[in-house]
Amino acid sequence: MPLEPVAFPWKNIIHSIAVANALVLVLILIFSSRLANIRGRWLLAGVIFFYSSLLWIFTLIDAGWAQSTFILDLLHHNLAVFGSAMLLDYVRHSLAAEKQRNWIYIPAVIFLGLSIIQGEAFSAAIRVYHIVLIQIVYTFFASLSILKARGHLAVIPKQCVLVVGFMWTVHLLQILIVIFPENVIIFDSLPLLAAIFLLLLTWFVTTDHRALRKLTEVPRLHSAEHCSKIDQIISYMESEKPYLDSKMNLKLLSEGVEMTPRSLSEEINEYGYNFRDFLNNYRVKASERLLIDPKESRTSIEAVAMLVGFKSRSAFYEAFKKRHSVTPAEFRKLHSPQ
């Protein structure tokens, strides 16, 4: 039976734009070479993909472009459950809570297995409040993770608080929809809220070149043991400036801070970087000072690269653009006196 033509209301336009923006963000997160934290960016990409897919399925049915079938319902339910699971995993990863994360996906996998085995019977048995309850449990554990993280993090990542706060707002609307299923305003407000959130996320990322790194980085720990080690490393980097040596490597730096190469690498990874990015981060900072210094205006870009420890112009450009999204020459021009 062909679908009847329907009007294209403004809300579906907003939903469609939000979904398109979300998919672009997913592609950026997956393929961006500027993001060192691979697990963090894949988790965030998964969360955005699952929830934007939920919004798109709702839009298809609401606009009359697709009919509601048990297969579409099961897909919708599984996206909601797996999206909640991945959101919890993303929050825990962002809070540097890496232990015991395998249990997170067990309920989602069981739900998927029952969906495949029982099919239409399972779809008929599932009610909206079942899905809402599962999502609320996941969000509760995400909130609990934030509370526990106060004991080992210097600063709680803002994105975790905002995302969890957004999810509790979603759950409130979901509960109101279950209580008042005939209320059109409440029913339409949930997907509209999701669309606005995705659009704001897009705006945040496109207006701040550091946004993606902020969303995917692992924060600094402040447990006594870790702080003493990472503070020792940072103090050595700032006082001795070993990064200015183009031959600096993991072994040489480990000797300077009196740690084994493996221990040094682990500490740097916990700080949110790999060794190369950690070293280049200091070099780029040093180059910034030279590039904006009027006394160094005649110093060539290649010379600046050599002075701060880079072996080649290409390596300098790659590291600099990774941090600033502009070339060193463009950076110098932007900061030169008019």
Break the chain into its structural domains and give their ranges: 10-216, 224-335
Give yes or no for residue 97 having a pLDDT over 70. no
- The lowest-confidence range among 39-48, 116-125, 226-235 is 226-235
Give yes or no for residue 216 having a pLDDT over 80. no
- pLDDT tens digits, residue range 109-136? 999 999 999 988 888 888 888 999 999 9
Residue with more model confidence, 34 or 328: 328
SS3 74: helix
pTM above 0.85, yes or no: no
CATH: 3.30.70.20, 1.10.10.60, 3.10.20.310, 3.30.70.2660. Which one for 224-335?
A: 1.10.10.60
Cα 45–chain centre separation: 7
CB 131 within 8 A of CB 77: yes
Q: Tell me the CATH number for domain 10-216.
A: 1.20.1070
Which of 312, 330, 311, 328 has its CA nearest to residue 320?
328
In Å, what is the CA distance from 126 to each residue of 70, 79, 130, 261?
11, 14, 6, 53
**Percentage of the residues of the chain whose pLDDT score is greater than 90:** 41
